[in-house]
Amino acid sequence: MSTALRLVHSSERAVKPESYLVTESFMAIPNALFDALLAADIPARQLKVALAIARKTYGYGKQQDDCTITKLAEVAGINRSDASRALQALIAAKIVSASKGKHGSLVSVNAPDKWEFDAWQNATESTTNVAKHHAQTWQNATHNKQPQNTSIPSSLRSEESATADEPSPREVEGKVQAHADQPVTAKVAEPVSDKVAKVQLDPARLVEAYHAACPTLPRVKLLTDSRKQALRQRWVQAGKELGRYGIGDVEAGMAWWTRFFTAVGESDFLSGKSGAWSQCNFDWLLKQANFVKVVEGNYRNGVQA
């Protein structure tokens, strides 16, 4: 047989990469802090930013680091605007501290016993329990307490960029599906309350306000649990994030939502009066991206986002 056989010597075989995971340096982060971050029920981007701060501090054997939002976003693997919003949320919850630095902001991770969670942001009380559970362990692990600064430094505000573009109304597919002809009863009109967050709202009254202000839009025939949940989310967003009213003040909230629905009804585009679009409905208005656009005035007469 003329075909030459080539012998592959052991020295020619592919060399496996070294297992650097067990030979390289390590980040000496306190177990109590790491456990608290793992157990905290916070959004993924906030967790990424918190871990990025831990990497920039404990990863280099220091308590604070002077860095920019851009650098934190790079370490966390997210865009800068998302990193900025996540950092502000972490500062508000006292999970991290930030103050003005020479190059950007002096950031550090706070002890878990200093963390403060708003109950409406989480489905359970597990996050607040996490801080209490790990408080003593953390205190034993280190005596260095970080300064608490919940204000948002100017260096962070200056790096914020505009929120990402949301799809235009013309890209919204489909119309509201037909619902069973089941009227809203007195039972569902009872205010929805949250004893921890002290959120108070009346879904049935909100639906009535929608019907009164938007007669050209499809009527709500069934107030489902998903609609109640969407109403609660937008209620908290308008009251807490936008500061329009106290989330436990039903009357003040109703006054603002009446104005909101009135603005929708007076918009030629949203109400369908212009004939350009006819897919606006109760569910569409409660989607976060659409709700923000309406609040920001993108659908006033003469304006179409």
Is residue 24 over pLDDT 50? yes
Radius of gyration in angstroms for the set of CA atoms belonging to the chain, rounded to a whole number? 26
Sign of CA dihedral 246, 250, 256, 261: positive
Closest CA to 116 of 131, 103, 101, 138: 131
The pair of structure tokens assigned to 168 is 């235009």
Cα distances from 48 to residues 53, 128, 231, 247, 291, in angstroms, run 9, 19, 29, 29, 27
181 compared with 30, residue with greater pLDDT: 30
In whole angstroms, give the CA distance from residue 122 to residue 128: 10
Residue 240 DSSP label: I
292 compared with 175, residue with greater pLDDT: 292
The pair of structure tokens assigned to 100 is 């003005």
Query: Would you place residue 22 in the very low, low, confident or very high pLDDT band (cuts 50, 70, 90)?
Result: low
**What is the model's pLDDT at position 25?**
67
Closest CA to 202 of 136, 255, 134, 154: 255
Domain boundaries, the chain: 31-157, 169-295
User: Which tens digit of pLDDT belongs to each residue from 98-157?
Assistant: 998 888 889 999 999 888 865 334 433 343 444 444 444 444 444 444 444 444 455 454
Is residue 12 over pLDDT 90? no
Question: Does domain 31-157 correspond to CATH entry 1.10.10.10?
Answer: yes
Is residue 1 over pLDDT 80? no
Is residue 274 over pLDDT 50? yes
User: Which tens digit of pLDDT belongs to each residue from 38-67?
Assistant: 888 889 999 999 999 999 999 888 989 999
Closest CA to 113 of 88, 89, 95: 95
User: Which tens digit of pLDDT belongs to each residue from 143-185?
Assistant: 444 444 444 455 454 444 444 444 555 454 444 444 444 555 4
User: Which tens digit of pLDDT belongs to each residue from 203-250?
Assistant: 999 999 999 999 999 999 999 999 999 999 999 999 998 899 999 999
At 134 the three-state DSSP class reads helix
Is residue 86 over pLDDT 80? yes
**DSSP code per residue over 82-102:** HHHHHHHHHHHTTSEEEEE-S
**What is the model's pLDDT at position 191?**
54
